[in-house]
Structure 1
Amino acid sequence: MKNFALLNSVAWAALVWAAPVMAQDDGRARGQCYVTGSTETPDAEQLLCYPGEEILVSASRDGLLGRDSFTGSALVISAEQVEDRQTRDVADILRDVPGIAVAGVAGQTQIRLRGSEANHVLVLVDGIEVSDPFAGEFDVGTLQAEPGARLEVLRGQQSALYGPDAIGGVIAYDSATGRARPGFSARIEGGTDDTVNGALRYGASGESWDAALSAVVVSTDGQPNARGGTRDIGRDSYTLAGKGSVAVGDAVTLRAAARFIRTEGQTNDSDFDPASPTFGFIIDSPGVAFTNEAVYALAGARLGTLDGRWTHDLSAQIANVSRETDSPFGITSASEGDRFKVSYVSALNVADAHNLTFAADYEVEGFRNATPGGFVFDERREIEQVGLVGEYRYTGEAFDLTAALRHDINDLFRDATTFRVGAGYRLTESTRLRAAAGSGVKNPGFFELYGFVDGRFIGNAALRPEKSTGWEAGIDQQLGDNASLAVTYFDSELDGEIFTTFPPPNFIATPANRTTTSTQRGIEVALSARLAPQWRLDAAYSYLDAEENGVREVRRPRHIASTALTWEAPGDAASATLVVRHNGATPDVAFTDPSFVPVRVSLDDYTLVNLNARVKLNDSIAAFARAENLLDEEYEQVFSFVSPGRSAVVGIEARF
């Protein structure tokens, strides 16, 4: 492989530094954090802290907030659920989270949370910010699921903790540590469309250290993605990642994580001939392809004092992302983005119930439009930012309170202050009420400030940051011993939304801030139930009303629902999972007018049915099969991009 040297460098760096994300260190305030599993289902791992409370890694800057004490809306997708649904693309399982809308095409998969824009969602992978500084968002289609990985999704404004990019919420993906999932894991599968996927993982640990290394390959020839097209759109994606930790003495823990992702694939262009009957539609475009490549790394050290009640954490992380689109005539677009970030977090636990946290972030993002030809702005630009965070949490037997305040000092924009407050109250042992309110901010990106292609998209250096405020109220209800229900109502407003306008007399596309307010309101429902010893049901539903000046926002369906039903044979000898996902009718825009002023269209609703099964051949080896889009539904997530039809794979996996 032409990237073999780089892959090895990333892997060895991760193993030498040997460290996980901050929240999975062993030494924590108030005691020990560890990962536990079930003897019957060893993949059902949970991150727990003394005295056995599951925590949310991303819900606090100190990484030690009990899930039952969180005053906002969160959903954890466990490693068991990821593997039960045979998830390969993380974007697929995110469709099962209330409030998330996914829209994917070749080379770009976007996630929108609670009606926000795709660049309003902060994505963390093993504690590293992974968005492309040039595009301002993360292509979640490049994130492949590793054995043992878990996810957290925080819904609602989280800028008070993380600054810009977290208006809609936070998605945190955590690969398993060497201590959580020791030994060797492997899987290989093949199927329709010449699909071949594989994964390797090795984890190990000692008394004072742990380390894990994984590799994932996804390769497919794909299917046509243009209406009436015949050109298959395939891709090859490679991921190599490593992380671990080492304790130095009784009080210091060093950690590191690194990841390399490369995706190569085909794509299609729009028809730009105004005389063509398919003008503005996606058409077969032989020779058009894309390449996305990213390198991420994090290193940090943690010091525990006062018997672990006062911790100090210092970390540094980098991200380098490059994207390129090619045609038979050469490179048609290219961009480079990089980020360097240093964070210091100091957390003090007072009398068990009170927690005070201070955090400081220094971040520099750089970006350059690398498209050749002399018709683009290709100078390198940088944005520098300092963020200061104060956080307080109170955790009582019946009442919980959280508050956070952040001040961001920007070199290009006005300084911004954001907040988040929340409270929870346990009416009974089975009923808990919660409410939260917060604000968020999103700075304009390079693409919007400086443009992309002269004569087609002109930048606007006078743009101001987008600002959001919102609140939510919810109830968490335990239904007997084997089921739980969470219902949340939310209401948010976005001011100064950045959109594309086409001003006269030339009608050339350029961004601007809206003078009206956009609103996002809705209801989210999540149900988890053990129907019988061998049956488990997970279901989610979202209703969203997202409008700008009375007009529905695009790519935000009103109704999204999913259901996953899993059966497990006694002794985990076999299992099967049926997943049904429904996406309601969705407004979108089409550039079918020669003026390039967008025309509003409506995409039909669709329902996808996936079915998979697994059979253990012995204690270490299992065979499995999976069918996706079983009913061969025809649907579009983006105007005139046809999504894949029915596909099937079979494979074998081993764990030693």
Structure 2
Amino acid sequence: MGTLSIKESNKGSIKLSQVALLVSSIISLSSYSAMAEDVTANAVDVDEKITVTGSRFDRTADQQLTVINTIEREEIARLNPKSVADVLETLPGVSISRNGGAGQATSVSVRGSNSNHVLVLIDGVKVGSATLGTVSFNTLSPENIERIEVLKGPRASVWGSDAIGGVIQIFTRQLKDGEWFAGAEYGSNDYIRGSFGTGMSHGKGSTTLAVNHEQSDGYDVYNGAPVENDDDGYNRTSLSLKGSQQINQNWQALWNGQYDKGNTQYDDIYAFGSADESDFDNYLWNLAAQYSNEQFTSKLALSQSSDANENFRGDDITVPVSVFETKRDQINWSNQYLAANDLTFIGGIDWSNEAVKGDYAQDERDIFGAYILAQKQWSQLLAEVAVRYDDVENIDSEVSYNASLAYQLTEEWRLAASTGTAFKAPTFNDLYWPGSGNPDLISETAKSYDLTLHYQANDIHAYISVFKNTIDNLIAWVPTGEKDDYGFDIWKPANINQAEISGVELFTKFGLFGFDNQLAYTYLEPENKKTGEMLIGRSVEELNYSLSYQWQSFDFLANYHYQGKRYAGYDLYLEAYHKLDLSIGYHLDDAWSLRLKANNLFDEEIISAQNYFSPGREFFFSVSYQAF
């Protein structure tokens, strides 16, 4: 999402303090408040120890001091999403903007930050483009995903560059020996999907192999280009491999890989009538060795990821093919030392080399980072401090930190406060785009504050979080005052903008009359501090509510999403919209299942990116088999 802004009418607006008071009252009256770290839609036994990896190592939810939302495989299956964005949109503080349907370009914003202010990891490996600075979520298949974690707020002190708004961790499926699944699906716009996965054992280890293929004829995604009234289809094939081998009592080997290949047809508003298509060919692999005993765990991982896109048009276009490719080599050494029952140290070193293909003045750079985290428990008080140093070749160095405190008020109530800094290194396009890059750019930086009240009792889980994030040195393309040979203004990127994003985030999950309920609500005040105007592409309010029920062999899920209006520039606003999806499953036995999914049941006209239609009403029918 962009950082340009404009003022929105204050008529009928609600002040942030009023929202905080209102939401707090809802929590008190309803007794909904809970641990932020578990956001699955099914009720969870309070004795179940849920682990998350916000500090790089598996830790229980009550050991985490940042807000972490998770969604598990069972809920992903019931959502029956067509994209990873469909899953993320159900979580609080996560906003989605699409240039059409599942196969089209998608932007993900966490707590109002830019789409390139979110670090994305797949099985611990950083993915995305070093030229654009974003991740192609439309290339990922949700069918191969076991779990997603979304960490809120700046986490550069642990993860390095890009983690200004948060961190999205995607974990691929992992099966035990003898477990396997297969599925097939057909739906609107001639959508077809087939998937298969199996777990295999080898001594004291196992490996999971999963493959998925899907394709759709699509529909015309662009509104306003009559010469491009063609359907915009897509196809993608995803292959994932994940395994581990216990060598002895202390040593373990781990490996994983991901391969995504496909094609997307799209409408380019700047090239009407052209044959706009894009092929993508992305992969990652990771090899790791881990040593652990009762007190100490050390993990060394070697990995590589590639993000490659080839965009091509008709023969009448001057440059018919353009190629964008990023290759990233990574070495990560992470360590955890349990000094005592109430004292933990985590630290490590990260190194990566980013190389891009193209006519750039510089086409590669090294990034080095070192970090340390300490967590200490005193009775009801838990404290955590993290510091990290990063050096980005040819740019600058950054020191980031996080400091957090949590106090267990009662057995059910917990109050946590945190502050931290983060940064985003300029992309290769920002620095070296031929003819218009600016090699003098510095990193965008951010400072954030967060206060979160958690509640957990029986099957009631909730939290309310109040946050503020100030981002300096934002990069924007601006005219330099010079003219080119044709008399047009020359534009170049510069560190000229500053943004301040304040907000309230609420999540509640509870059972009532046999129904499982989940409510996620976000209120934002996103402001361009340089102009005093509202940031482009953000909604003041966003809400997601899901209602699920299980009865004998049937399960039912209704998911409602409200998106407030967004400013689109030039005094134009994207209209607010409502979207209702239904999913009904029938389990023939313990293995066979049938599912009917209806998206956008009321056929609402949805435009989340200017002039691009999201799909209308869609229906899908799937059959699956799981041997567990």
TM-score range, shorter chain: 0.7 to 0.9
Counterpart in 1 of 2:512? 531
- Corresponding residue of 1:496: 473
Match in the other structure for 2:445: 467
Q: Kindly provide the CA deviation profile for residues 200-235 of structure 1, in whole angstroms up to 9, marking residues without a partner as x.
A: 111234662121011111211111111155311110
Give the drift of 1:146: 2.6
Q: Distance in 1 between matches of 2:303 and 2:50?
A: 27
The aligned residue for residue 86 of structure 2 is: 92
Q: Match of 2:341?
A: 352
Structure 2 match to 1:213: 209
Determine the structure 1 residue equivalent to 2:69.
75
SS at the partner of 1:428?
coil
- The 3 A distance-change label for structure 1 pair 325 and 433 is same
Contact 1:368-1:379 at 8 Å conserved across structures: no
- 2:55 is equivalent to residue 60 of structure 1: yes
**Alpha-carbon separation, structure 2, partners of 1:545 and 1:169:** 18
Q: Is it true that 1:484 corresponds to 2:461 in the alignment?
A: yes
| TM value normalised by structure 2 | 0.87
2:320 corresponds to: 331
Q: CA deviation at 1:308?
A: 2.7
Aligned residue type for 2:304: I
Q: 1:601 aligns with which of 572, 590, 610?
A: 572
1:166 to 149, 163, 177: 163
Contact 1:147 1:185 in 2 (8 A): no
Q: Please report how far the alpha carbon of residue 286 of structure 1 lies from its aligned counterpart in structure 2 after TM superposition.
A: 4.7
Aligned partner letter, 1:177 = Q
Q: Find the counterpart in structure 2 of residue 116 from structure 1.
A: 113
Distance in 1, matches of 2:42 and 2:179, equals 16
Does the CA contact (< 8 Å) of 1:44 and 1:78 recur in 2?
A: no
Q: How far apart are 1:263 and its partner, in Å? A: 2.5
Q: What is aligned with 2:18?
A: none
| Corresponding residue for residue 284 of structure 2 | 296
Distance 1:390 1:600 in 2: 47
Equivalent position of 2:193 in the other structure:
197
Contact residue 325 and residue 357 of structure 2 kept, 8 A: yes
CA displacement 1:56-95 (0-9 Å, x = unmatched): 12x113x133212211111111222211211231111111
In structure 2, the residue matched to 1:405 is 387
Aligned to 2:589: 618
Whether contact under 8 Å (1:188, 1:197) holds in the other structure is yes
Q: CA deviation at 1:462?
A: 1.1
CA distance in 1, matches of 2:444, 2:145: 37
Q: Deviations over 1:561-608 (max 9, x none)?
A: 1011111113xx11111011111101124xxxxxxxxx4531111111
What secondary structure is seen at the aligned counterpart in 1 of 2:108? strand
1:583 corresponds to which of 541, 552, 563: 563
Letter in 1 for 2:519: A
Check whether the contact 2:44–2:459 (CA below 8 A) recurs between aligned residues: no
- Counterparts of 1:319 and 1:136 in 2: how far apart (Å)? 14
2:264 aligns with 265
Q: Aligned to 1:497, what secondary structure does the other structure show?
A: strand
Kept in 2: contact 1:231–1:286 (CA 8 A) = no
CA deviation after TM superposition for structure 1 residue 360, in Å: 0.4
d(CA) in 2 for partners of 1:100, 1:138? 15
Instruction: Quote the offset at 1:53 in angstroms.
Output: 2.4
The whole-number CA distance in structure 2 between the counterparts of 1:182 and 1:544 is 48
Q: Output one character per residue of 1:443-487: Cα deviation in whole Å (capped at 9) or x when no partner.
A: 1011111126x5xxx111111110000110010123x52211210
Tell me the alpha carbon deviations over residues 531-589 of structure 1, each in whole angstroms, 9 at most, x when there is no partner. Answer: 244x211110001111112111111111111011111113xx11111011111101124
Total equivalences in the alignment: 572
Give the C-alpha shift of residue 380 in structure 1: 5.9
Cα-Cα RMSD: 2.2
Q: How far has the Cα of 1:170 moved from its partner?
A: 0.5
Q: Would the alpha carbon gap of residues 643 and 52 (structure 1) be closer, same or farther in structure 2, given more than 3 Å must change?
A: closer
Match of 1:38 in 2: none
Shift of residue 395 of structure 1? 3.9
**CA–CA distance in 2 between the matches of 1:423 and 1:258?**
37
TM-score by length of 1: 0.84
SS at match of 1:412: coil
Structure 2 residues not aligned, in runs of 5+? 1-39, 484-488
Percent identical across equivalent pairs?
A: 22
Higher relative contact order (Cα pairs below 8 Å, separated by 6+ residues): 2
- After superposition, the Cα gap between the structure-2 partners of 1:147 and 1:346, relative to the gap in structure 1 and judged at 3 Å, is closer
In 1, the alpha carbon distance for the partners of 2:147 and 2:44 equals: 9
Mapped partners of 2:539, 2:571: distance in 1: 14
In 2 relative to 1, CA 556–79 (structure 1 residues): closer, same or farther, beyond 3 Å? Answer: same
Whichever residue aligns with residue 155 of structure 1, its letter is: K
Rounded to whole Å, the distance in 1 between the matches of 2:204 and 2:380 is 37
User: Mapping of 1:374-413 within 5 angstroms?
Assistant: 377-378=359-360, 381-395=363-377, 398-413=380-395
Structure 1 portions without partners, runs of 5+: 1-40, 273-282, 370-376, 590-598
Q: Is the 8 A contact 2:330 2:350 kept in 1?
A: yes
Q: Is the 2:144–2:212 Cα contact (8 Å) retained in structure 1? A: no
Could you give the per-residue CA deviations for residues 263-304 of structure 1, whole angstroms, max 9, x where no partner exists? 2011111146xxxxxxxxxx5x35211112101010000012
